[in-house]
Amino acid sequence: MGITLMGHEKMLIVVVVALMVSSTVYGVGGNFRDEFEPTFGDHRVNMAGRDLSLSLDQYSGSGFRSKREYLYGRLDMQMKFVEGNSAGTVTTLYLTSDQSTGRHDEIDFEFLGNVSGQPYTIHTNVFSQGQGSREQQFHLWFDPSKAFHTYSIVWNPKLIMFLVDETPLRVFRNYENHGITFFPKRQPQKIHASLWEADDWATRGGLEKIDWTKAPFVAHYRNFNIDTSPNGAYRNHDLNAQSRKRLRWVQKNYMIYNYCTDWKRFTSSFPPECKHAKFN
């Protein structure tokens, strides 16, 4: 009898500890309403505490952005994309400074839908002073419409890193010590997200059109976390031996486009960071 009780007590302790651990993992994100505001799509932006959904129909897509702007930080967002035939839809999570200046900075994650059973494409890009054209694209090693996964952007003075479930897909470094000035580093940026229609280009170069009989299309966001603390872990974030290995694995097996190897596009010369970028 006594032994059974002790067994239960132990179990209780295990449960309490497990709850504490999971609340430190998931409890750090805030309420969407506190940090974010809708940008377009009216009722298609649906905020409920730590959950948010965006929808897209024949009349409009939808989007939201942070109320505050940030200069460096780490953003984590759990996301689940449009299920089934999502061809022609684009779900985004990106940072951008004020675009009206014509010299804006931007860090992009875009998720291009596909016909049922075919893989999403993850499109990434970086803009500095109004210039972009730094695309890399990937497929994923799982179906991102079936469950929530964590998509992260780390931005510090040394680098920008795109991660999925802590696996780095891409590292874009600041090479100013090599005289290369292309890096977003002075302008604060807001967090943006959206779900919209781009069937003129998104899926197989626009060959696959949106199937509106499946509308509304819905994408889910939840449990965001924004770390901008002056001593935040993102500050010194960089690859270590293990994450470098993961990066190489992704780049070898899942990268489908890299501007630094697009000979057709950059016939005379590649952007200057390309010669350093292979040594990530």
Ligand X SMILES: *[C@@H]1O[C@H](CO)[C@@H](O)[C@H](O)[C@H]1NC(C)=O
Whether 208 is catalytic is no
Which one of 110, 197, 208, 273 is the catalytic residue?
110
Closer of 120 and 155 to ligand X (Cβ): 120
Choose, by CB under 6 A, the member of 86, 97, 114, 223 that binds ligand X.
Answer: 114
- Token look-up 């780490």 returns 74
Q: Is 258 in the site for ligand X (CB under 6 A)?
A: no
Q: Is 112 in the site for ligand X (CB under 6 A)?
A: yes
Whether 106 is catalytic is yes
Cα(61)–Cα(54) distance, integer angstroms:
8
Cα(150)–Cα(179) distance, integer angstroms:
34
Which one of 9, 35, 106, 135 is the catalytic residue?
106
- Long-range contacts of 29-34, Cβ-Cβ distance < 8 Å, separation of 24 or more: 29/76, 29/222, 29/223, 29/224, 29/225, 30/224, 30/226, 32/64, 32/221, 32/224
**Shortest distance, position 234 Cβ to ligand X, whole Å:** 30
Q: Is 86 in the site for ligand X (CB under 6 A)?
A: no
**Shortest distance, position 63 Cβ to ligand X, whole Å:** 20
Residues 199-218, one symbol each (x = binds ligand X by CB under 6 A, - = not), give ---xxx--------------
How many positions of this chain bind ligand X (CB under 6 A)?
8
Q: Is 150 in the site for ligand X (CB under 6 A)?
A: no
Q: Is 128 in the site for ligand X (CB under 6 A)?
A: no
Residue nearest to ligand X (CB): 118
**Shortest distance, position 72 Cβ to ligand X, whole Å:** 31
Closer of 87 and 160 to ligand X (Cβ): 87
Residues known to be catalytic: 106, 110
* Residues that bind ligand X in the complex, under the rule CB under 6 A: 112, 114, 118-119, 121, 202-204
